């Protein structure tokens, strides 16, 4: 992925638009991260008015979207959902037909739906609009509980910050875990949030996460190779297993087992990128136990084998040595 086009129209949401700019538009070459040819495009170049009243000047028309490797669709006001600009819909259909990536943030998924590229696929949008999308587009399997959905080369995300999760998810596939972690660290956000937006539906202002579980989660990360049970973790937290499981899911948005599985996968990705360790050793260090189990988890979550992942994202030997020197320092 080398070229990125972000489509904006009058009434665009500044934060969600900024998410795409932050994820794909900044120059991070100083951190060893390749830059994208990033351009903001609109059906009619010129002043595009945001939902907050201020305008941005867009110099590019939609022609760049017809050649971009990734087309990002920003959220649009409700009035655009049923009378979308046909020029935008054509650009979206073209991107889908030629196999480019498509990514929508929040209600931008309604433009993907209007273009017909989500028919027969799974998708998500902000939980406030999920029922509306399901009624308007019954051919789409709408999941209101997740932060983002990838179906093929189309990624739809839930509201606001979930767009950043979706962008990082895509960057992990294109740049690998280590480079994406560097981008996340620059943003001061977690490289991978577990759980979904279901935790926000019943109580839009969730309780503050309990600091009492932080030592336990840190210990889990330091001991991924161990067979960690809920009973064992609950004992470290000085809670009953039932209370621990409930509190953990409330704080982290996932069960202890699901969170642990995700952290093990992330650790295995980094070992594949940064070391020459064999698959059996990586499986042991990351807590999967055997290379066969490691392969199963890679195939299920990432859609490729550990060997293919290493071939695509491995560091050079000089880079591996530099990483080791940094860790030692």
CATH code where residue 50 lies: 3.40.50.880
Residue 204 lies in a domain: no
Residue 250 lies in a domain: yes
Task: Indicate whether 183 and 214 sit together in one domain.
Answer: no
What is residue 62's DSSP assignment?
A: G
Q: Which of 110, 155, 111, 154 is nearest to 133 (CA)?
A: 110
Task: Indicate whether 142 and 264 sit together in one domain.
Answer: no
Residue 192 lies in a domain: no
| Model pLDDT, residue 194 | 55
| Model pLDDT, residue 252 | 78
Which of 187, 218, 241 represents a domain boundary (last residue)? 187
Task: Indicate whether 234 and 178 sit together in one domain.
Answer: no
Blockwise average pLDDT, block size 10, the chain, 329 residues: 96 92 93 94 96 95 98 87 90 97 95 96 92 94 89 91 90 87 80 52 38 83 92 92 90 84 89 91 94 91 85 60 47
Q: Which residues pair with 174 in a beta bridge?
A: none
Residue with tokens 């202002």: 205
Task: Indicate whether 27 and 95 sit together in one domain.
Answer: yes
Q: Which residues pair with 289 in a beta bridge?
A: none
Q: Which residues pair with 222 in a beta bridge?
A: none
Task: Indicate whether 178 and 219 sit together in one domain.
Answer: no
Task: Indicate whether 133 and 258 sit together in one domain.
Answer: no
Give the distance, in angstroms, between the CA of residue 190 and the centroid of all CA atoms in the same chain. Answer: 11
CATH code where residue 296 lies: 1.10.10.60
Q: State the DSSP string of 97-127.
A: HTT-EEEE-GGGHHHHHHHTTTTTSEE---T
Domain span at residue 141 reads 3-187
Task: Indicate whether 93 and 157 sit together in one domain.
Answer: yes
Which of 135, 155, 187 represents a domain boundary (last residue)? 187
| Model pLDDT, residue 11 | 92
Task: Indicate whether 82 and 150 sit together in one domain.
Answer: yes
Residue 322 lies in a domain: yes
Task: Indicate whether 128 and 97 sit together in one domain.
Answer: yes
Residue 224 lies in a domain: yes
Residue 193 lies in a domain: no
Residue with tokens 């996932």: 254
Residue 155 lies in a domain: yes
How many domains are contained in the chain?
Answer: 2
| Model pLDDT, residue 197 | 53
Query: What is the β-pairing status of strands 148-151 and 154-157?
Result: antiparallel
Task: Indicate whether 14 and 141 sit together in one domain.
Answer: yes
Task: Indicate whether 134 and 232 sit together in one domain.
Answer: no
Residue 311 lies in a domain: yes
Which of 152, 187, 222 represents a domain boundary (last residue)? 187
What is the distance between the alpha carbons of residues 127 and 158, in angstroms, rounded to a whole number? 7
Task: Indicate whether 181 and 216 sit together in one domain.
Answer: no
């Amino acid at each position: 992925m080398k070229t990125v086009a972000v489509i904006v129209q009058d009434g665009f949401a500044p934060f969600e638009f900024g998410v795409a700019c932050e994820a794909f538009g900044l120059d991070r070459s100083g951190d060893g991260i390749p830059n994208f040819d990033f351009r903001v495009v609109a059906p009619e170049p010129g002043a595009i008015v945001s939902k907050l009243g201020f305008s941005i000047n867009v110099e590019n028309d939609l022609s760049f979207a017809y050649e971009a490797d990734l087309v990002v669709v920003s959220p649009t006001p409700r009035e655009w959902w049923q009378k979308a600009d046909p020029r935008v819909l054509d650009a979206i259909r073209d991107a889908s037909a030629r196999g480019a990536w498509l990514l929508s943030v929040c209600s931008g998924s309604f433009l993907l739906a209007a273009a017909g590229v989500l028919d027969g696929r799974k998708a998500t949008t902000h939980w406030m609009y999920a029922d509306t999308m399901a009624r308007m587009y019954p051919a789409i399997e709408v999941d209101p509980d997740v932060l983002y959905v990838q179906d093929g080369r189309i990624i739809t995300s839930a509201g606001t910050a979930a767009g950043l999760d979706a962008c990082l998810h895509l960057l992990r596939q294109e740049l690998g875990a280590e480079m994406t972690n560097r981008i996340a660290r620059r943003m001061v956000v977690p490289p991978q949030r577990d759980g979904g937006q279901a935790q926000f539906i019943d109580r839009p202002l969730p309780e503050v996460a309990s600091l009492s579980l932080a030592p336990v989660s840190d210990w889990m990360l330091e001991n991924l190779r161990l067979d960690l049970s809920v009973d064992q973790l609950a004992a470290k937290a000085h809670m009953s297993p039932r209370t621990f499981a409930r509190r953990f899911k409330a704080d982290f948005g996932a069960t202890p087992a699901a969170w642990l599985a995700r952290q093990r996968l992330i650790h295995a990705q980094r070992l594949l990128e940064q070391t020459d360790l064999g698959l059996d050793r990586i499986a042991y260090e990351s807590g999967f136990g055997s290379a066969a189990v490691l392969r199963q988890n890679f195939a299920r979550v990432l859609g490729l084998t550990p060997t293919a992942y290493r071939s695509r994202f491995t560091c050079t030997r000089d880079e591996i040595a530099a990483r080791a020197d940094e860790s030692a320092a």
